[in-house]
Amino acid sequence: MQIWIIDTKDQLIHQINEFYVQQIAADRSRFTLLIPAPCGRDKYMTMLIQ
C-alpha cells in the first residue's frame, strides 16, 4: 500500500507524526524523504510505504 501526501513542509511533518501516533505507520522510517512537489510552490510530498 502507498499513501501519497502533498502539503507544506510543516503540515507534512505534522501529518507524519499523526500517522505514527494513530499507529497507521509502524514507525517514521516508513515515509520517504520530503521532496519538492511538482504541483505547487512551497509544497512538498512524501509517500508512506507499507
For residues 48 and 41, what is the distance between their CA atoms, to the nearest angstrom? 22
User: Does the pLDDT of residue 33 top 90, yes or no?
Assistant: yes
* pLDDT at residue 50 in the model: 81
What are 3-32's pLDDT values in tens digits? Answer: 999 999 999 999 999 999 999 898 889 999
DSSP, residue by residue, 1-50: -EEEEEE-HHHHHHHHHHHHHTTSSSSGGGBPPPEE-TTSTT-EEEEEE-
Which of the two residues, 44 and 41, has the higher pLDDT score? 44
For residues 19 and 42, what is the distance between their CA atoms, to the nearest angstrom? 22
Which of the two residues, 41 and 47, has the higher pLDDT score? 47
Cβ-Cβ contacts under 8 Å for 23 (sequence gap 6 or more)? none
